[in-house]
Every structure is written in structure tokens, then in C-alpha cells.
Amino acid sequence: MGAFSVFLTQSPSFLAHQRTMEELSGKSNAQTLFEIKQIPTDNHIRDILDSVEHEIIFPVFDQVIENLHQSGCKIL
């Protein structure tokens, strides 16, 4: 779940956003929403995702997009 959360921010990276939140409020979304105890670095997330074949991820991504469309979300 943490890997997908990178798409929900306007920061240059997931880690940068979480560190900013932690500095400002003492906790990050990674800790409160996603229950991530140690925030992975950008490179760590890339390493994890790079090892997964795209044939496995694409159907999941397609299903997420379909669910968003069905819920009325306006996306590309």
C-alpha cells in the first residue's frame, strides 16, 4: 500500500512528503494511515517494484482505474 501512496502527494517524492509531515506534526501519513513503522526510501520502493514483472502489476492498476471510474472519479 505504501508504494501507491506516492501518487497521493504533491512532493517530489513519497519520502520527502512524509519527512515534512513528520517535522511539522510529529507523525507522518505513512505512520498514521498506512501503519508503516519505518518509511522506506525512494530507492527501496523502486527496488521492490522493479523486481515485479509488469504483467502482474498492470491488471491490478487497470482494476484500480476501473474502480475509480465506477465510483465517479474523473481521471484520464
Question: How do the domains of the chain map onto residue ranges?
Answer: 2-70
Q: Per-residue DSSP letters for 39-55?
A: PPPHHHHHHHHHTS-HH
Q: Provide the 10 A C-beta neighbour count for residue 39.
A: 19
Strand, coil or helix: 74: coil
pLDDT in tens, 46-75: 898 888 888 888 888 889 888 988 998 876
Question: What is the rounded distance in angstroms from the CA atom of residue 15 to the CA atom of residue 44?
Answer: 11
Give the pLDDT of residue 6: 56
Question: What is the rounded distance in angstroms from the CA atom of residue 70 to the CA atom of residue 6?
Answer: 23
42-50 helix and 14-25 helix, angle to the nearest 10 degrees: 140
pLDDT in tens, 9-32: 677 777 888 888 888 888 888 888
